[in-house]
Chains A and B, each alone.
Chain A
Amino acid sequence: MTIKRWLGALAGIVFVLSFGTSAQAGATLDKIKQSGQISCGVPTGIAGFAAPDSQGRWAGFDIDICRALSSAIFGVADKVKYVPLTAVQRFTALQSGEVDVLSNNTTDTLQRDTALGLNFAPVVFYDGQGFMVAKKLGVKGAKELNGATICVQPGTTTELNLADYFRANKMEYKPVVIEKIDELYAAFFSGRCDVMTGDASGLAAQRLGRASNPDDYVVLADRISKEPLAPVVRHGDDEWNDVVRWVVYALIEAEEKGVTQKNVDDMLKSEDPNIKRMLGVTPGMGKALGLDEKWAYNEIKLIGNYGEIFDRTLGKDTELKFERGLNDLWTRGGLMYAMPIR
Chain B
Amino acid sequence: MATEAATGIVPTRRPPPWHNPRIRGVVWQILFLGIVVALFAFLVHNTLVNLRRQNIASGFGFLDREAAFGIGESLIAYSPADTYARAFLVGLLNTLYVSALGIVLATVLGTVMGIARLSSNWLIRKLAQIYVETFRNIPLLLQLFFWWAMLRISAPAPRQAWEPLPGVLVSNRGFVYPVPIADPAHHWMLLALALGIIGAIAVSRWAKRRQARTGTRFPSGWVGAGLIVGMPLLVFLAAGVPLKLDWPELKGFNFVGGSAVSPEFAALLIGLTIYTGSFVAEIVRAGILAVSWGQSEAASALGLRPGQCMRLIVLPQALRVIVPPMTSEYLSLTKNSSLAVAIGYPDLVSIANTTMNQTGQAVEGIAMIMAVYLAISLLISLFMNLYNRAVALVER
For window 66-124 of chain B, which residues contact chain A by CB distance below 8 Å?
68-72, 79-81
Interface residue A30 (Cβ < 8 Å from any Cβ of B) = no
For window 140-158 of chain B, which residues contact chain A by CB distance below 8 Å?
145, 149, 152-153, 157
A contact residues around B39 at 8 Å (CB): 13, 17
Partner of B54, one of A20, A92, A145, A236: A236
Q: Do A112 and B360 have beta carbons less than 8 Å apart? A: yes
Among listed A156-164, A222-230, A271-279, A285-293, interface-contacting one: A156-164
In the assembled complex, how far is the CB of residue B151 from the closest CB belonging to chain A, in whole angstroms?
9
For window 315-371 of chain B, which residues contact chain A by CB distance below 8 Å?
341-344, 346, 350, 353-354, 356-362
| Contact (A160, B68) CB under 8 Å given A147-B253, A179-B342 | yes
Q: Do B358 and A148 have beta carbons less than 8 Å apart? A: no
Interface residue B35 (Cβ < 8 Å from any Cβ of A) = yes
| Contact (A190, B343) CB under 8 Å given A155-B358, A167-B80, A177-B72 | no
Partner of B263, one of A115, A163, A192: A192
Q: Do A164 and B68 have beta carbons less than 8 Å apart? A: yes
Q: Do B263 and A91 have beta carbons less than 8 Å apart? A: no
**Scoring A residues 65 to 91 as 1 if CB is less than 8 Å from chain B, else 0, what string do you get?**
000000000000000000000011001
Interface residue B172 (Cβ < 8 Å from any Cβ of A) = yes
| Contact (A191, B172) CB under 8 Å given A95-B362, A116-B56, A179-B342 | yes
Among listed A122-130, A168-176, A208-216, interface-contacting one: A168-176
What is the total number of residues of chain B having a CB less than 8 Å from a CB of chain A? 48
A contact residues around B145 at 8 Å (CB): 183
Q: Which residue of B lies closest to A155 (CB)?
A: B357
B contact residues around A194 at 8 Å (CB): 253-254
Interface residue A206 (Cβ < 8 Å from any Cβ of B) = no
B contact residues around A183 at 8 Å (CB): 145, 342-344
Q: Do B343 and A111 have beta carbons less than 8 Å apart? A: no
Q: Do A177 and B354 have beta carbons less than 8 Å apart? A: yes
In the assembled complex, how far is the CB of residue B381 from the closest CB belonging to chain A, in whole angstroms?
30
How many angstroms between the C-alpha atoms of A163 and B353 in the bound complex? 17
**Scoring B residues 38 to 70 as 1 if CB is less than 8 Å from chain A, else 0, what string do you get?**
010010001000110111110000000000111
Q: Do B70 and A111 have beta carbons less than 8 Å apart? A: no
Q: Which residue of A lies closest to B355 (CB)?
A: A155
How many angstroms between the C-alpha atoms of A191 and B173 in the bound complex? 9
A contact residues around B56 at 8 Å (CB): 95, 115-117, 235
**Scoring A residues 166 to 209 as 1 if CB is less than 8 Å from chain B, else 0, what string do you get?**
11000001111111100100110011101000000000000000
Interface residue A315 (Cβ < 8 Å from any Cβ of B) = no
How many angstroms between the C-alpha atoms of A166 and B50 in the bound complex? 38
Partner of A160, one of B69, B252, B346: B69
A contact residues around B382 at 8 Å (CB): none
How many angstroms between the C-alpha atoms of A225 and B341 in the bound complex? 27
Partner of B152, one of A111, A175, A190: A190
Q: Do A117 and B69 have beta carbons less than 8 Å apart? A: no
- In this complex, the interface size class of chain A, counting residues with CB under 8 Å from chain B, is 35 or more
Interface residue B243 (Cβ < 8 Å from any Cβ of A) = no
Interface residue B256 (Cβ < 8 Å from any Cβ of A) = yes
Interface residue A301 (Cβ < 8 Å from any Cβ of B) = no
Q: Do A92 and B80 have beta carbons less than 8 Å apart? A: no
How many angstroms between the C-alpha atoms of A173 and B35 in the bound complex? 54
Q: Which of A95, A116, A155, A177: most chain B CB closer than 10 A?
A: A177
How many angstroms between the C-alpha atoms of A149 and B262 in the bound complex? 12
How many angstroms between the C-alpha atoms of A164 and B66 in the bound complex? 11
Partner of B50, one of A23, A115, A186: A23
**Scoring A residues 127 to 155 as 1 if CB is less than 8 Å from chain B, else 0, what string do you get?**
00000000001000000011111000011
Partner of B46, one of A20, A91, A160, A178: A20
In the assembled complex, how far is the CB of residue B378 from the closest CB belonging to chain A, in whole angstroms?
28
Q: Do A177 and B344 have beta carbons less than 8 Å apart? A: yes
In the assembled complex, how far is the CB of residue B349 from the closest CB belonging to chain A, in whole angstroms?
10
| Contact (A114, B55) CB under 8 Å given A147-B253, A159-B70, A177-B344 | yes
**Scoring A residues 221 to 246 as 1 if CB is less than 8 Å from chain B, else 0, what string do you get?**
00000000000001110000000000
Partner of A187, one of B71, B344, B356, B362: B344
B contact residues around A173 at 8 Å (CB): 70
Interface residue A11 (Cβ < 8 Å from any Cβ of B) = no
Q: Do A87 and B173 have beta carbons less than 8 Å apart? A: no
Interface residue B19 (Cβ < 8 Å from any Cβ of A) = no
Q: Do B57 and A148 have beta carbons less than 8 Å apart? A: no
Q: Which residue of B lies closest to A23 (CB)?
A: B50
A contact residues around B357 at 8 Å (CB): 87-88, 91, 154-155
Q: Do A111 and B172 have beta carbons less than 8 Å apart? A: no
| Contact (A167, B81) CB under 8 Å given A23-B50, A191-B172 | yes
For window 252-281 of chain A, which residues contact chain B by CB distance below 8 Å?
none
Q: Do A236 and B53 have beta carbons less than 8 Å apart? A: yes
Partner of B55, one of A92, A111, A154, A235: A235
| Contact (A95, B54) CB under 8 Å given A117-B360, A155-B358 | yes
Interface residue B251 (Cβ < 8 Å from any Cβ of A) = yes
Sample of 4 more A-B contacts, CB < 8 Å, known A160-B68, A164-B68: A91-B362, A115-B360, A159-B70, A167-B81
Residues of B within 8 A of A (CB): 35, 39, 42, 46, 50-51, 53-57, 68-72, 79-81, 145, 149, 152-153, 157, 172-173, 251-254, 256, 263-264, 341-344, 346, 350, 353-354, 356-362
Could you pull out 27 A-B pairs where Cβ atoms are within 8 angstroms? A10-B35, A17-B42, A23-B50, A87-B357, A92-B356, A95-B54, A111-B359, A114-B57, A116-B359, A116-B360, A117-B55, A117-B360, A147-B253, A147-B254, A148-B253, A154-B357, A155-B353, A155-B356, A155-B357, A155-B358, A163-B69, A176-B264, A176-B344, A191-B152, A194-B253, A235-B54, A236-B53
Residues of A within 8 A of B (CB): 10, 13, 17, 20-21, 23, 25, 87-88, 91-92, 95, 111-112, 114-117, 137, 145-149, 154-155, 159-160, 162-164, 166-167, 173-180, 183, 186-187, 190-192, 194, 234-236
Task: Give the 6 A-B residue pairs with the shortest CB-CB distance, closest first.
Answer: A155-B357, A116-B360, A117-B56, A163-B80, A117-B54, A115-B57
